[in-house]
Structure 1
Amino acid sequence: MRVKPKLLKYFFGYHIVNGVAVAIGVLIVGLASSGLFGFESGMAAALGALCVSIADTSTPFSAKLRILPLAWICASVPAFAAAFAGGSHLAEGVVVIVSGFIAGLLIAWGRWALPLSVLSLLSLVLALGAPAVTLAARLNYAEMATFGGALYIPLALALTKLTDASGRRITLAEVLREFASFLRRVSGFYRKDADEGEVCLRVVEQQVSFADHLQTARSLIASAAGRPEATRLIAALAAVLDAFDGVVSMLADHAPLRLAHGSSNGAPDGASASADDPAAQIERLLREMAGDLDALALDLVVGGGQLSFPNREPELDAFSAAIAAMEAGQGADPTVLRAARLTRARVGLALSQLASLPALLTSQDAAEKAMAGVDMRAFAPPVKVSLDVILQHLRWSSPIFRHAVRLALALGCGYALTVLVPGLEHGNWILLTIAVIMRASYAATRQRRDERLLGTILGCGAAGALLWIGSWPLLFAVQLLALAVAHAYVKIDYRLSSFAASVMALLALHLLDPTKAPLVAARLIDTGVGALIAFLFTFLLPQWERHSAPGLADGFLRALRRYADRSLRWNSPEQDYRLARKNLLEAFSALGESATRMRADPEAQRAVWPHYSKLIAAAYVTAAQIVTVRLLIRNRRGDLDPLASEKLLDATRRAAMAQLDFAAPPPPPAASQDGHGETVFAALRQRCEEVLREAERLRAIIAEIWTPAPVGDQKGEGRAHDARSDDRAAL
């Protein structure tokens, strides 16, 4: 069964299970509280549960045990602060500013803490807008909201337990889907008119999404390590990553471009490659592999039959025949032939790994054999909550501190407008808009602004039509559906999430106070005002992407050094290699996200962009060369002399790490040695030389842009940490 990739993304994923579970949890809280305390108190409890539910994301049960109680505290404190400050504009303004500052600092804990920042401000805005006049009424709202949030936690944990098993399979299916999209992006390299830099950026952008889904799957599956099904899923994840290694190594030596530009011997200049050209064959094969993965992902989620992966040996044989034809022809370019052989070997490796997925997913013995010596629990990121981490950012040089200041002042400005401007006295939607739009970087804020405006306009229109119908059972049902959609698609499509959130909020206001006319038009005005304020305040103490780029480059170089250290060894423990690869993927993803955001910065702030794109392309090729050495050792170990290979690898590792160590002077250029020959050891020696040449090229490109911090420089480590934390917040 084949489904379009975009439809797979929208209709099959753990985000849907998570969104439905959140809606069910909030529904149960609302119904139970309404039955016990009355409808208005029940709505307040449901809103409290809604705030806590924002932190109920696709994380393991063990992580939710720590995150959800923290979310409850982050929601309860602002609600009570707003209750006590009510009636005094000055006190409310102070609460808004202080809450905004604290919410901005919370992102120092990492990406997982971003929902805490948002839900704390949402709780504040809802408390400020609650239809309560007296202190007793305001405190009653805060108490019921707090009660609802507390009641939601055991429900969320119970629903997580119920959906954990299916959720783990779904997250693996999402990894397969994202890897399929990655293959489609890589296929762009094999077009004759391919722009290497542009295609590389598109590949890295997709790798960011792949790495994000991979981390979610790792967390959920590794948390169940030891269970039979989890072992099979972990083994399948490992096979996908080994296939990923094979695909990345295909990019070594600029092989795709050499194939695309050199395999059509005799073709007129500017002519497209024919369907029988090796480059066209590989492009088509990668797209077919992507389709096969999409089908397997769908079968994994909804299929009831036996899992399978099509046999692609005929396509590989056809490619081998094309290589043989190139060899037999006169004047064949040796570099093109070498690129074709490399591509044949690596795509064959990737296919063999993907073809093993059905067996790994159905056979416990095969899964346990594949994962021998690897403990996947080490790959699950811990949830670290420490006040010291936040205190470290209480300095002017910290991007997170400056973001907290911007957010606090923007919220203060929005609140001042609601007090001073006639017609905006009920404009808490302005504060909500600022809270959900503002991010730590200009580019992320601008994107959120545009998506929020479009989603709110459409959502207000839909809500207006529903309110005109006026059937409360229908409105209540649509509100729950909107809650599920808003929660499920916040990362997939923020426009859709914003649309659903607008519908949900307007219907909630109407159900809470049916006698009050729905302020659909007012919400549109509030959204525009809030979006404008959020955007204008990005220019206060601005955080342009060029500011964090050096720190990201530092972090990437450190990850690349660790990866080279683990890969360029004759006997490297599988666990060490996989952990180093994980860290490199995350560092590479940070670079890719930064590149995407930098292109959205103002023109005056993008002077470094041409060099930055060159850096990412060079980094990718360097990593590809290291992967190629690793795969050559693993696949041809029996044909290599252990002592000679270990000596060669040790020398290569020391030289490569010296090239990537900016604390030391650059080593001399790698010298090419004669006598490469046709032996496996000669091929290994040539690969090692190419690793050093690419590392030297990468160092030269980075030196053109900035001087990275020395590897052992603690100050540099701090800059890299700040940048990575800010990068998480910008998402």
Structure 2
Amino acid sequence: MNYASELKKFVTSQYIYSGTRIALAVVIPSIILAYLGLLKEFFLFPLGTLFLALTDSTGPFHRRRNALIVASGFYFFVSLIAGLLKDFPPLIFLEIIIFGMFFTMLGVYGQRLAAVGSLTLVVLAIFIDGAPGAHSAFYNALVFTLGGIWFILVFMLVTVIKPYKLAEQMIGENYIELGNYLKLKAHFYHSKPDFDVLYKQIFALQVRIKEHQEATREVVFKTRQIVRESTSTSRLLIQLFLNSLDLYEILLTSTNDYRKLQNTFGNKNILEKIHNYLNLLSNELVHIGISIQGGLKTTPITDISAELHALHEEYYQLRNQHLNAETLEDFMILRQIMHRISAISEETQKIYLLKSQDIKLAKSLSTGLDLEKFVQKDEKLNSKVFLENFSIKSNHFRHAVRITTALLVGYAISKIEIFHIQKTFWILITILAIMRPAYSITKHRNILRLYGTIGGAAAGLFVIYFITNPLTQFVIFLICLVLTFSLLKDKYAWSVFFMTIYIFLMFNFLKPEDFSELFMERLIDTAIAGVIVFLVSYLVLPVWEHQKNRTFMLNYILANHKYLNNIIEILQQKHIPIQDYKISRKHAVVSLANLSDNFQKMLSDPKGQQKNLENVHQFVTTSHLFTAYSASLSQYAQKNTVYREIDFENWKNKINAELSRTIAILQKQEIKKDDFAESKLTPEDLVNELLEKRKEEITENEFYDRRDPKNISHLTELKNIRELLELIYNQARDQRKIAEKVTD
């Protein structure tokens, strides 16, 4: 592992940037209040800052601003009501029911409001037994809300000073993920690769890339400063993001029959050379990503052209030694791989050129696309949508019932005297932090929360008992605060670890006490909450991933059906607007990632709920291959070359017939009779005749040592196109057979 590169990625990332901003927004007023001797009196002020900051998730400026304003209003209302009802236990249970259902149901309006609703319930948990101090409910609610308003001001100020920072960091992270993806691809060319493990890692990373691309697309295309302002920076960022999407498509095209490739060339040095070169390109993409995140100019780490030339020479030398009529088709496959590697190299060099060009030249950049069509339109909050989801059929409603039930059970247990629970809010907060709509995610977070709490509590005790210098403790507190929010998204266990340390230090600053009791209380409360969450998630209106299989499979087929048809129609010289093609590509990749994500979650469900697991696994595998082969075919569609030797019309009808049959099966409809006949069509290609002629020429020693890396023979292209169409048809046929086996 390159530790220097990993450190640069983290230091320049949006996570450390966000974590530092939150920490400073909390600490600066705390220091001022402590200096004035008012910190204990106004402890709720920095706490309000902290909790409002947690609602600030990635996205366009106006959405983030609106969410913060809405959240601050919710915080004031809930904290006020909770403070007024704290002495009336029966009303507290009613309060939990009403607020639990309402704020969890906000998830029907998307992830942003789901987060706002969830954190509003955390605020309820904090105030449910009354805030510390002897002040009135209104006073406490007001101080807490003012702390949140302080964060809104910080957010606005930082956004004005650095309007493009978030977009830079997200685009940079996109390139880093592509670099990681290419590194995984490189392992297929290494000696004795573990194909099953690699495919599993590839599938998981594709889900991650899809999620990040969707978030980045929203930020880039919906941020006014980037889309509407004709600044050099905005145009450059848009172009860098679009290039990353094109590069991802090229990386998808690099899918091959790796087992066959290893059997054919595994004993030759060429595959290891390819492996090393792809690793080199992977490092370049990560380097580009870090430079974009940091807003820095950059140059290539190595001479890409020289390394690519050396790799091509290795290929030509091998070809000259072993090419004959028998190995012709094998070398055609290898030649195609070399061509794709060249395409990745050229795209990487193009990105370097784009990144380093004179800022004045960036003004001429134009995508030629209607960018608004690449993101979902903002929808107004519709009360009808909210009310319609109050149904047992709604996953949002079922999740709201589970959350509310868990909170009621948690609160009831905290009031049983034999447990001697002093801080009710810890159980409730832990329930809200762990429980998620999907059982698999809830189960995973439950385990991570326990690990993080145990480790953090032990580390917190060590710091308090053995590092007694107040200034040193404060520095550790600040570091833990930054790391908590920096690691919250990707390293949840570590985030909880540092969170537990800073909570212990915070209590130590405010009210030193016997921390051995605090240690045990924290662990016991976490364990109780974990058991509650597990039982409620399993028993109360559970939603299992197998129930969504058909929906995700159908969405995948529909999206990739359109994507493939666009590609074939372009190859037929039909006019398909580039914008329509790119939108269909986006939907194809997103639907594939959603299908994969559904399968990954299904693996964490109880064994009894993993229905159709083997069939779904096969469908996911064939889907990845189908999309990859379609993406490979798209590279020829972009060349504007005529391939009359391929019978595209019959290939399209043949593949569409299988896809139509699969759609009918998944929708439980009757299959059209024409689909049976068309799926058996035999396209009238001329490739085999041309291939036999070429073999005869080679046998008669008519072989020429042409060494033009950018030139690939028309016959090689024809053979590869025909093979891709055959592979796409085979995957479509296999998907139809698998769909027939899937039951509800």
| TM bracket (short chain) | 0.7 to 0.9
Secondary structure of the structure 2 residue equivalent to 1:38: coil
Partner Cα distance (2:63, 2:655) in 1: 38
Q: Does the 8 Å contact 1:256/1:339 carry over to 2?
A: no
Q: Residues of 1 paired with 2:362 and 2:725: CA distance?
A: 33
Q: Which residue type is aligned with residue 281 of structure 2?
A: M
SS of corresponding position for 2:415? helix
Is the 1:18–1:57 Cα contact (8 Å) retained in structure 2? no
**Mapped pair 1:582 → 2:577:** no
Which residue of the partner structure matches residue 705 of structure 2? none
CA-CA distance at 1:292 after TM superposition: 1.9
Shift of 1:583: 2.2
SS at match of 2:538: coil
**Residue 467 (1) aligns with residue 464 (2):** yes
Q: Judge conservation of contact 1:5–1:177 (CA < 8 Å) in 2.
A: no
Paired position in structure 2 for 1:268: none
Describe the shift of the 1:403–1:80 C-alpha distance in structure 2 as closer, same or farther (beyond 3 A): same
From 398, 402, 406, the counterpart of 1:406: 402
User: Aligned to 2:560, what secondary structure does the other structure show?
Assistant: helix
In structure 2, what is the equivalent of residue 204 of structure 1? 203
Partners of 2:620 and 2:109 in 1: how far apart? 27
Q: Which structure has the bigger radius of gyration?
A: 2
> What is residue 245 of structure 1 aligned with on the other side?
249
Residue of structure 1 equivalent to 2:446? 449
Cα distance, 1:14–1:192 mapped onto 2, change above 3 Å: same
Contact 2:108 2:386 in 1 (8 A): yes
Structure 2 counterpart of 1:673, from 684, 691, 715: 684
- 1:356 alignment partner, SS class: helix
> In the aligned structure 1, how far is the partner of 2:98 from the partner of 2:453?
27
Structure 2 residue matching 1:542: 3-state secondary structure: coil
Q: Comparing 186-195 with 341-350, which one deviates more in the overlay?
A: 186-195
CA change 1:228–1:641 in 2 (3 A) is: farther
Provide the residue aligned with 1:529 in structure 2.
Answer: 528
Change in CA separation of 1:325 and 1:495 when aligned onto 2, cut-off 3 Å: farther
Q: Aligned to 1:351, which of 337, 345, 352?
A: 345
How far 1:641 sits from its partner (Å)?
6.2
Per the TM alignment, residue 415 of structure 1 is displaced from its structure 2 partner at its CA by 0.5
Q: 1:714-729 to 2 correspondence within 5 Å?
A: none
Aligned-partner Cα distance in 1 for 2:257–2:641: 26
Change (3 A) 1:283 1:80: same
Partner of 1:45: 45
Q: Distance in 1 between matches of 2:512 and 2:53?
A: 25
Give the conservation status (yes or no) of the 8 Å contact 2:650–2:682.
no
| Shift in CA distance, 61/302, structure 1 to aligned 2, threshold 3 Å | closer
Q: Is the Cα contact below 8 Å between 1:17 and 1:167 reproduced in 2?
A: no
The alpha-carbon distance between structure 1 residues 515 and 691, as it changes in their structure 2 partners (threshold 3 A), is closer
Question: CA 1:303/1:56 → structure 2, altered by over 3 Å: closer, same or farther?
Answer: closer
What is the CA–CA distance in structure 2 between the aligned matches of 1:235 and 1:257, rounded to whole Å?
A: 37
> Which of these residues, 374, 381, 400, is aligned with residue 379 of structure 1?
374
Counterpart in the other structure of 1:292: 284
**Per-residue CA distance 1:295-317 (angstroms, 9 max, x = gap):** 33334445855422641422540
1:587–1:302 Cα change, 3 Å: same
Q: Call closer, same or farther: CA 1:370–1:559 in 2, change over 3 Å.
A: farther
Shift of 1:129: 5.1
CA distance in 2, matches of 1:90, 1:670: 72
Partner of 2:309: 314
Map 1:606-621 → 2, pairs under 5 A: 606-621=610-625
Output the CA distance in 2 between the equivalents of 1:232 and 1:349.
22
The answer to whether 1:236 aligns with 2:240 is: yes
Quick one: structure 1 residues 286 and 103, their matched pair in 2 at CA, closer, same or farther if it must change by over 3 Å? farther
Q: Give 1:611 shift.
A: 1.8
- Give 1:116 deviation, angstroms: 1.6
CA spacing shift, 1:683–1:531, aligned 2, 3 Å:
closer
How has the CA–CA distance of structure 1 residues 608 and 12 changed in structure 2, closer, same or farther, with 3 Å as cutoff?
Answer: farther
User: Structure 1's 153 and 125: CA in aligned 2 closer, same or farther, altered over 3 A?
Assistant: same
Q: What secondary structure sits across from 1:538 in the alignment?
A: helix
Residue 42 of structure 2: SS of its match in structure 1?
A: helix
Counterpart AA for 2:386: I
Partner of 1:122: 122
Over 3 Å counting, the alpha-carbon distance change for 1:179 and 1:346 in structure 2 is same
Distance 1:230 1:283 in 2: 36
User: 1:5 offset after TM fit, Å?
Assistant: 6.1
Aligned positions of 1:62-461 closer than 5 A:
62-128=62-128, 130-132=130-132, 137-191=136-190, 193-194=192-193, 196-222=195-221, 223=223, 224-225=226-227, 226-251=230-255, 254-264=256-266, 273-274=267-268, 276-278=269-271, 280-302=272-294, 306-308=298-300, 310-311=303-304, 312-318=307-313, 320-321=315-316, 324-325=319-320, 328-329=323-324, 331-332=326-327, 334=329, 336-363=330-357, 371-381=366-376, 384=379, 385-422=381-418, 423-461=420-458
SS in 2 for 1:569: helix
More divergent stretch after superposition (463-472 vs 59-68)? 463-472
> Does structure 1 conserve the Cα–Cα contact (< 8 Å) formed by 2:452 and 2:496?
yes
Query: What RMSD over aligned residues (CA atoms) do the two structures have, in Å?
Result: 3.2
- For the Cα contact (< 8 Å) 2:12–2:294, is it kept in 1? no
Whether contact under 8 Å (2:319, 2:331) holds in the other structure is no
CA contact (8 A) 1:486 1:500 kept: yes
Q: 1:18 to 1:456 in 2, by over 3 A?
A: same
Residue 568 of structure 1 deviates from its aligned partner by: 3.0
Unaligned runs of 5+ in 1: 265-272, 708-731
Return the alpha-carbon distance in structure 2 between the equivalents of residues 618 and 368 of structure 1.
44
Gap change, CA 1:118 and 1:341, over 3 Å in 2: same
Report the TM-score when normalising by structure 2.
Answer: 0.85
**Which secondary structure state, in structure 1, belongs to the residue aligned with residue 638 of structure 2?**
helix
Rounded to whole Å, the distance in 2 between the matches of 1:535 and 1:595 is: 21
Q: What's the offset of the Cα at 1:176?
A: 1.4
Distance 1:108 1:669 in 2: 45
Give the match for residue 695 of structure 2. none
Deviation at 1:444, TM superposition (A): 0.8
Deviations 1:329-380 (A, max 9, x none): 574273x334323322222212211121111123368767774312434434
- Note the C-alpha offset of 1:256: 2.4
Structure 1 pair 218/151, CA: closer, same or farther in 2 (3 Å)? same
Counterpart of 1:479 in structure 2 is: 477
Deviations 1:226-284 (A, max 9, x none): 43112222222222222221221121xx43232122224xxxxxxxx45x143x33333
Can you list the C-alpha shifts for 1:514-544, whole angstroms capped at 9, x where unaligned?
5786722211111111112111211112222
The alpha-carbon distance between structure 1 residues 356 and 245, as it changes in their structure 2 partners (threshold 3 A), is same
- SS of alignment partner, residue 568 of structure 1: helix
2:602 aligned residue (571, 575, 598): 598
Corresponding residue of 2:707: none
State the identity %: 20
User: Aligned in 2, Cα 1:82/1:474: closer, same or farther, shift over 3 Å?
Assistant: farther
Cα displacement (A) at 1:614: 1.3
- The residue number in structure 1 matching 2:493 is 495
Aligned pair in 2 of structure 1 residues 248, 387: CA closer, same or farther (>3 Å)?
A: same
Secondary structure of 1:92 counterpart:
helix
Cα distance in structure 2, aligned partners of 1:624 and 1:120? 43
Aligned CA distance change for structure 1 residues 107 and 339 (closer, same or farther; 3 Å): farther
Higher relative contact order (CA 8 A, sep 6+): 1
In the alignment, residue 581 of structure 2 is paired with which amino acid? Y
CA distance in 2, matches of 1:333, 1:610: 37
Instruction: In structure 2, give the amino acid aligned to 1:394.
Output: F
Give the paired residue count: 691
Q: Secondary structure at the match of 1:394?
A: coil
Q: Displacement of 1:37 after TM fit?
A: 10
